[in-house]
Structure formats: C-alpha cells, structure tokens
Structure 1
Amino acid sequence: MSYKVVIDSCGELLDEWKQDPRFESVALTLSVDGVNIIDDETFDQADFLKRVAECPECPKSACPSPERYMRAFDCEAEHVYAVTLSAELSGSYNSAVLGKNLLQEDHPDRQIHIFNSKSASVGQTLIAMKIQECEEAGLPFEQVIETVDAYIEQQHTFFVLDNLETLRKNGRLSKVKALVASALKIKPVMGSTEEGAICQLDQARGMNKALVKMAQAIVEKTADSGQKTLAISHCNCHERAILLKNALEERMPIKKIVILDTAGVSSMYANDGGVIVAV
C-alpha cells in the first residue's frame, strides 16, 4: 500500500525525508515585528533569532490554511496521515481536520487520518517515524492509526530554555521574574502534559545543571528505553545537544538517538540555546 505523511513545519524532517515524495512539510507562517516569515526550506534561523532578539514584541505564528492541507492530502497515496503540533498550542490540528473534510466532500473514499501529536518539534518527528515503521511493516490503515495513537499516549516531551525572553514577551513570565531568573541564571526544565499543554517540571541554576535535571526526568519517565528511539532538537547549540546525548547514553539504554536542528516554529518556542527532547 502506498502512503504519505504530512507534517506541519513545527516538526523537523529527517534528511532522507526531504527528497522523499511520501513526506511533505506544510509551512506555518511566523511574524516578527510586522515581517512575515514562511517556515519552509527558505527559513534562515540566524536571521530569525536576530529579529526576535531586537523586537520588543513576542513573535507569533499562523497555522496553515485548510486549503493548504487539502492540497497536501490530494495525492495518489492510498493512505494519508497528518501529524500536527499539539492542539493545545496551535490551530494547526483543526485546520488539518477541515482540510480533510473539504477533500472528502468530493472524494469520500479517501483514507486520511489526522494525528494530534500532543507534542511539538521532534515529538512530531518520532510520530512520523512510527507511521513509516507501521506502513513499511504492512499494517492495515486502521491498525496503523491504533498503533500510532498508543505511541502518542506514552510519548513524553521535555525542553530546557536558555533564554527566557519569549516567555516574558508573551506574558507567561513577568518582567520582574524574568530579570531575577536571568540574574540568578535560573533555567526552567519544561515538559508536556498528557493533553499536550506545557508545564514546568523543575529548574536549576545554570544550563548544565538544568540539562542534568532534564536527563534525570527523562530517565525516570521512560519505560523500556532500550526499545525506543529518542530525538533531540536544538536551537543554535549543537555541542549542547551532543553533551545531552552523551549524558543520556550514560544513564539509560536507548535504541537510537537522533539529533536535528530546530525549524522555524520550534526555534520560536525554544529560542536561542534551547534544547528539546522527545521519547
């Protein structure tokens, strides 16, 4: 059976997917200081981070339109799947559902399923990898959905922020708290809830200590780690991602670790120096 996986651009693509017609990234639009930036292959992370640092307002994102999703779904593949960032964080999931409904008005027999990742960034990447694994194992459409839904329910996402400016700008952290945290070099260790919202798990003084605490949280929350693939995305800090990879390999058995650069939306959430982990 032929298949296609559509991922909104918050999810990072593996290098081999970028030339594979079975995988398509649907771009969100980022807005910084009145300038719209398309989160596609033209995204310039260094320029984006510079614009964010210079702008007093919080950057914003706009999800793809239902019509854009509909075009992505309108293909020859027998099975079509979409993986969107958490419905708690964006309208991308609802837009994809509307795009599916629009296409099925004229093609009711098309097999299309939309997965709410309840995650973001490399959490979406791992879900797309699970879809690929199921399809290449020859599972029928409904069984792929069942298997991937179960995978999403047991997946965990973690991240550490080096820069708290985005949290301050969007009102999630007061100016006073941001200044105190910056002065004391306090770094929050964040994670996702079961519903896909964001919560603070811990905090530490200094980035290295925060990464250690995040590694501990990952070990504690990851059952059967030797059977799992873990993914790390980083925003402009590859060496930090390698240090975390090494720390995790020392603390737990793991089947495979993938390291990717953050794309546009993930760069907006993580900001310069941020690290995201999904497993």
Structure 2
Amino acid sequence: MRYKIIIDSCGELLDEWKKDECFESIPLTLMVGAEQIIDDETFDQAEFINKVAACPECPKSACPSPERYMRAYDCEAEHIYAVTLSSELSGSYNSALLGRDLIMEDHPDKKIHVFNSRSASIGESLIGMKIQECEEAGMSFEEVVSTVEHYIEGQHTFFILENLDTLRKNGRLSKVKALVASALKIKPVMGSTDDGNICQLDQARGMNRALIKLVEQVIEKTPDSAEKVLAISHCNCPARAQVLKEAFEERMKLAKIVVLDTAGVSSMYANDGGVIVAV
C-alpha cells in the first residue's frame, strides 16, 4: 500500500472509500445528555436527531485520543496523511499531531503529515480527494504535502442552518442573535475564516432566499471554478441539497459536484435541515 489517508469522522467518506484500505475514518465521540455515541459506521442520523431534539442539554463531541491515531498510523503504507477538522473548532488536530510524534519515536523513518483542514465536514472530504488525486498522479510525499497545503489555503466552506440552537449552546453564536434570527426567520449564511474559525457572511429572511445568498457567496469567492470540485453535505434534507446542486450547475462551470449526507459530528452542528458547501 503506497499511501493511507486518515480522516476524522467530522469528514464524510465517499462510498468507494468505505471499502478501500487506503482510507480510514477515526471516530469522534458524541455526547447527548449522559449517553455516548461513537461516530462510526453504526451512527444512525435519524435516531441521533431525535435524541438531540428530546434532550434539554446541548450535544457535545470529544476528539479521538493520540493513541487512536497511533493505531491508524501503525501500517505498512509508505505515505500516511491525516486530515482533521479545524484546529480552531476541535482538539482532533493536536491529538493527531501528538499521535504522530509518539509513533515516530519508535519509527523515525515513517512519512506522516497531519493536515489542519481549517474546515469541517465536506471540506475534509475534498482534501482527502485532493490527496488521493496527487498520490495517483505519482507525486512524491513532499510534493503531495505542498500541493495539498496550497489547496487548503484556497478552499472555502459555507453553510446555512435551519436550527441555530447547537451553535448558540456551544458559544458559536450569541443568545440574543440566535433568538432574534429565529423570531424573524432570518437565516445567517455562515462561512469559515482563513484560520478555520466561523464567521457570518450574509443573511436573508427565509431559507430559500438564504440559499440564493449562499450560491452568490460561493460564486463570488470561487474564481476560475472550471477545474474545481464542489461538495455539498446535508443533514436530512436531500431535496434542499438537490436544489443547491442544480443552482450551481446552472450558474457555475465546475469539474464535478459531490453530494453526501452528513456524518455524526457534522449532523450535530448542522442539525436537522442544515446544508454545507465546500469548494
């Protein structure tokens, strides 16, 4: 095996990756009240959404341990890459780095690089796709790292949430702002900053208008899009994701559009009805 790509479970895996030994998902742990849910292939999105809705407490997540990353690194692959959600949002990146440092004490010749996605969800998936593309093109380990780090610098992530409770309860949005937005049916169009934090890009009254604003933001921030892959992930709203896909097909030239359902951590933040776009 020439390479291995490890993605924490905030990133969605393509169907073909789930059967490919070159890919491994490292699960975070989700907590709803006193219950702990492992974000792996057993995750049930519908059941999780119902549990979150019924629980008065805010759902939380815990990052994988360095030891869990070490087990993933302990393989025969010549080149090993880890992709984690933004270091500004989780400890997963630092855990992956520590796991790398620990295993390299005994295996100093291993080639391991940890990518801070500065994103989440489908943004991580796109980075995994880029790594695979570079490896399949025969690039050296150093060339892959340089190319993908440059790709991450130019990547943008956008999202709209139907429900702002999880962001508010986790301190990502003020209580007053969340209440006003809910009362007036205002949907903020959110995005990632260059360092991987969350910011508001725009807003609109009603979901349909917000989706239009999101499309406009993506177009504005994606020059020379013809060779780029755009990805959409959604939490229990395939029709909404399809509307977005058709809008992008109509208004942008893109190499490819990928649509995936959110995994566990992404479902926790996106909540029922949320959509995420990365390009």
Tell me whether the two structures share a fold, i.e. TM-score over 0.5: yes
Q: Partner letter of residue 79 of structure 1?
A: H
Q: CA deviation at 1:175?
A: 4.2
Correspondence for 2:102:
102
Correspondence for 2:261:
261
User: What is the percent sequence identity of the aligned residues?
Assistant: 75
Q: CA deviation at 1:174?
A: 4.3
Structure-1 separation of matches of 2:45 and 2:275 = 15
Is 1:111 equivalent to 2:118 in the alignment?
no
Correspondence for 1:59:
59
Correspondence for 1:220:
220
Correspondence for 1:48:
48
Q: Partner letter of residue 210 of structure 1?
A: A
Per-residue displacement from partner, 1:58-96 (whole Å, max 9, x unpaired)?
Answer: 111100000000000000100000000000000000000
Q: Partner letter of residue 149 of structure 2?
A: D
Q: CA deviation at 1:51?
A: 1.2
Correspondence for 2:73:
73
Is 1:21 equivalent to 2:40 in the alignment?
no
Q: Provide the secondary structure at the position in 2 that maps to 1:159.
A: strand
Q: Is the 8 A contact 1:190 1:199 kept in 2?
A: yes
Q: Is the 8 A contact 1:56 1:169 kept in 2?
A: no
Structure-1 separation of matches of 2:171 and 2:192 = 19
Correspondence for 1:198:
198
Is 1:233 equivalent to 2:261 in the alignment?
no
Per-residue displacement from partner, 1:92-146 (whole Å, max 9, x unpaired)?
Answer: 0000001111110110000000000000001000000000000000000000000
Correspondence for 1:251:
251
Number of residue equivalences: 279
Q: Partner letter of residue 268 of structure 1?
A: M
Structure-2 separation of matches of 1:75 and 1:223 = 39
Q: CA RMSD in A?
A: 1.0
Per-residue displacement from partner, 1:160-187 (whole Å, max 9, x unpaired)?
Answer: 0111111232244444443332222111
Is 1:147 equivalent to 2:152 in the alignment?
no
Q: CA deviation at 1:277?
A: 0.4
Structure-2 separation of matches of 1:135 and 1:171 = 39
Structure-2 separation of matches of 1:85 and 1:231 = 16
Per-residue displacement from partner, 1:2-44 (whole Å, max 9, x unpaired)?
Answer: 0000000000000000000000000000001110000000001
- Which ranges of structure 1 fall in alignment gaps of 5 or more residues? none
Is 1:186 equivalent to 2:183 in the alignment?
no
Q: Provide the secondary structure at the position in 1 that maps to 2:90.
A: coil
Structure-1 separation of matches of 2:116 and 2:168 = 27
Q: Which moved more, 1:229-238 or 1:170-179?
A: 170-179
Q: Is the 8 A contact 1:83 1:116 kept in 2?
A: yes
Q: Partner letter of residue 252 of structure 2?
A: M
The alignment's TM-score, normalised by the length of structure 1, stands at 0.98
Q: Partner letter of residue 90 of structure 1?
A: S
Q: Provide the secondary structure at the position in 2 that maps to 1:75.
A: coil
The alignment's TM-score, normalised by the length of structure 2, stands at 0.98
